[in-house]
Amino acid sequence: MTVTLADILAARRIIRGVADATPFVPSPFMAKAAGHDFLLKLENMQPVGAFKLRGALNAVAHLPEGVTGVTCCSTGNHGRGVAFAAKARGLRAVICMSELVPEAKVAGIRALGAEVRIVGRSQDAALAESRRLCVAEGLVEISPFDDPHVIAGQGTIGLEMLEARPDLAAILVPLSGGGLAAGVAVAAKAVNPGIRVIGVTMERGAAMHAALRAGHPVEVTEEPSLADSLGGGIGMENRLSFPLCQALLDEVVLVSEEEIRDAMQVLYHEDRIVAEGASVTGIAAMLSGRVTLPDGPVATIVTGRNLDMSVFTKVVAGEDVRIGDLVVRGKRYGA
Ligand SMILES: *Cc1c(COP(=O)(O)O)cnc(C)c1O
């Protein structure tokens, strides 16, 4: 089982007019910092506030006849995508999440009419509940990243980027379970085999990074982070997103909480864009110099905007932010 360009082209027909054609804009400020064109694919403009709608719509479209309900574990954005896609098809949706998921994400899911189960303090606990519901209530699970239809759906982002800018030399992709990075890499490398696809994730609990180092999935401890959407493991029985990331990612880079904070500030103060921590890791890697970029135009995917506004306003105003037992110190922009 794998994901091909043909799967991504098919996904594109399914999501057309609902979850596609997000803006792809140059950032003059970031181009100056990068020394080359630097483009932002604005998936934060999706109707559910994150790219996950692409994969969820494609996965729900491929459900077998007779399915009456779906379930998933989620750090919030996949759940919201699944809730949206299920509602459009008149299906029941039960979204399982941990206590680490921000309130704004939970509210967004409830507003779409889905049922919410908050269980434990990790994605593993949420996944266990989702699996239990499959057996107990006859629901079908949709993995946030380890599912061929989800990966093909996320891959449509790569197609749109390469069609607009076939000259891209590299793409910086926020990385968690790797569904996004795998799909984007399949699409981008099918069009231009020489393009570099670089995954970027936070230092705190970087599961895919640890797995790639070990050569197999490993357990990581989940920790509070500004990049809450990147939390959780990749699944010890990962079948698809791990091997694809292993084969197709040129590099994986880690960024600190302070670098994520700085990137959120830059994106807001310079480009007036509201984005959650997970979605600015590519920008953080570029601005902090943690990644060596090739000689040519670079793009990153601003993956989502779903964060508690109290956190956002503190970050951009330069105040301290507390998330669980984590305190990210405030710093005034430009100071
Ligand atoms: C899910 C998510 C990611 C990471 O996607 P994966 O496919 O799990 O690697 C990045 N940013 C945001 C906002 C997300 O919701």
pLDDT for 166-206, tens place per residue? 999 999 999 999 999 999 999 999 999 999 999 999 999 89
| DSSP 8-state assignment for residue 36 | S
Statement: residue 230 has pLDDT above 90: yes
Ligand 1 first shell, C-beta below 6 A: 50, 52, 77, 144-145, 174-181, 229-230, 276, 278-279, 303-304
Q: Which atom of ligand 1 is nearest to the CA of 182?
A: 7
Tell how far the Cα of 304 is from the centroid of ligand 1, in angstroms. 8
Tens digit of each residue's pLDDT (9 = 90 or more) over 256-281:
999 999 999 999 999 999 999 999 99
pTM of the shown model: 0.97
| Domain C-terminal end among 112, 141, 170 | 141
Q: Classify residue 276: in a domain, yes or no.
A: yes
**Structural domain that includes position 100:** 52-141
CB atoms within 10 A of CB 239: 14
Give the atom of ligand 1 at the shortest distance from the alpha carbon of 276: 13
**pLDDT(335) > 90:** no
Boundary (domain end) residue, out of 141, 168, 196: 141
CATH at 163: 3.40.50.1100
CA of 53 to the centre of ligand 1 (A): 11
Write down the pLDDT at residue 257. 98
Residue 103 lies in a domain: yes
Pocket mutation for ligand 1, best pick of 101, 260, 303 (most atoms within 8 Å of C-beta): 303
In whole angstroms, what is the distance from residue 300 CA to residue 80 CA?
A: 22
**Contact yes or no for 46/19 (Cβ under 8 A):** yes
Q: Which residues contact 243 (CB under 8 A, 6 or more apart)?
A: none
Confidence of residue 107 (pLDDT cuts 50, 70, 90): very high
Residue 122 pLDDT more than 90?
A: no
Looking at the fold, whether 74 and 132 belong to one and the same domain comes out as yes
Report the pLDDT value the prediction gives residue 201, as an integer from 0 to 100.
Answer: 98
Same domain? For 56 and 25 the reply is no
Q: In sequence order, what are the beta bridge partners of 42?
A: 302
* 141 three-class SS: strand
Looking at 141, 171, 195, the residue that finishes a domain is: 141
Rounded Cα distance, 55 and 53, in Å: 6
